[in-house]
Structure 1
Amino acid sequence: MTVLRTMWGKAVVVRIRARPVFVLGTVLAYLSLVALPRALALDPDRRISQYAHTAWRVRDGVFAGAPTAITQTTDGYVWIGTVGGLLRFDGVRFVRWTPPTGEHLPATAVFSLLGAADGSLWIGTSGGLAQWKNGNLLNFPETAGRVNSIYEDREGTIWMARSRTRAGAVCKVTASVAKCYAPKDGVPPYAGTLTGDNSGYLWIGTSTALVRWKPGSSTSYELPGLKSNAALGGVMALAAAPDGSVWTGIANSGRGLGLQQRVNGTWRTLTTTALDSSTLNVYGLWLDRHNALWIGTQGNGIYRVHDGKVERFRSADGLSSDTAESF
């Protein structure tokens, strides 16, 4: 299942067959192409506008608060995090999740989710990280802060990026033991997102830079256009490509901003007859199994880039909102 969410006003979850795509924000929208057989990923030769669209909205009473995160676990359930708690979706109905008696999440507001390979659900809240597995809830008080992003590497280690703390942006969980890294270890004091590459490095997005890090090695790549952006949005989304490059989505538009690709030590803007990626305010990125890059923007809908072809889908084409936060 593929996920894209929108927020800051209108929010949507969109599901596309085959496989489903969800778009999330204050609306949950669902896209489906019934005639298309189920497959491992969306066919890049199908136009996004070919998919039907259904939406569930906050104003319809579906959610207690604006949706902020979405994922799918190996049992098939879709989980939706909101500022008012966590919901589970079985394809038909939404059910509010409640922890076992006497237990609780670190905080009510959920800002990130990850369905892990072992079937567990990782829940990032405004107060720290938790794991829900086999009916058991485990909190990690060492991770206190707002958990903005969760990533699982090839060894099954869970990594997270956090803010609302200056104790260090990165924490990891191995065998149910959490360890957080401080600025003295080479990580930034806080971060909005992170992902990993095939070389074992983490890429960490901050308000002013992109940091390539692993224990014992840290390199910061400053973005000149974000020099005065400390403590603001900055780098919002990352996607590591198989060729070693890293797509970097930036909330700010302008020269050297928007969507940038870090390739062999240099920054590149995606420029085609259909798109100048520096003009975008990018909130979400996702690289699918066909190596198609999905771009979620503020105010400009979504883009899909594959083999040099750029496709755009926005409210004028049927999308529930022109702001897409993540996939």
Structure 2
Amino acid sequence: MLFVTDLYVGRFAPSPTGLLHIGSLLTAVASYLDARSRHGRWLVRMEDLDPPREMPGAAAAILTTLEAFALHWDGEVVYQSRRHHLYAAALAQLRAHELVYPCYCSRKTVQAEARGMGVDGVVYGGRCASLSTDTCLCADKMPAWRLRVGAELISFLDAVQGWQQQYLTSDVGDFVLLRADGFWAYQLAVVVDDAAQGINHVVRGQDLLVSTPRQMYLQQLLGLPQPTYAHLPLLTNALGQKWSKQTQAPALDLHRREALLRQVLAYLGLPQAPQVDSLADLLGWAVQHWQLERVLPQAIVAVQ
């Protein structure tokens, strides 16, 4: 399943919960340019593990949009919905080493306990960590499966955001790998798939930066290689909200492809591109002038 190579292998991994918007385009273009500028492979993976949130037809529309912007990928598109056996095998490996346990806590319970601990956000307090099915009154319910986290500091150098560190015990707590509703959690799936596809460079949005220490910890436990990471600045609307489906980011206007592509190239620190005959030519120019070091970490107010 795994392969070792000196070749740069990157990826773009959208979730089909809606159509691509300007923030999605920034991530797609940056990951594409970083791969192509290093003569590497650029893969596309559809992260379709949450059917209740997915939009019918979105996966196909995303691929059509990428092609419309001349962002052509290598190999076949991978769909996470077809890879449950890989995630189950990883969970079984962790269970065999007693690194995971069933948890019957509701999100409401976790939030209430976090507030009681005086912790900002949702940090799991470990209520079920030592609970046996013999004493649990909820054993007839389907549990989530949580990973036991270690006390060590997880740190790494992000190519855009700089030095990062996190204590999983105090900042996150034991986290979910398989949800109680039977859906796989993002943290496990992304780690398994990046390793299975030989991904060694991850270029993605800053909103996922906080998840990276969890993924690195999982990689260590599963004996998987760790990619290098680069987290791009967030694009926000005039209210300072991240452009996303939740903030009603408009879908990309395919009649304005060149203007939108030039817009994200400017956000990524490239100089003004010359006039070209096609989007492919514009991307070719961008590959030649791409420098990840030019990307600034600060959020950018973007229009579309």
TM-score normalised per structure 2 = 0.24
More strand by share: 1
More helix by share: 2
TM-score normalised per structure 1 = 0.22
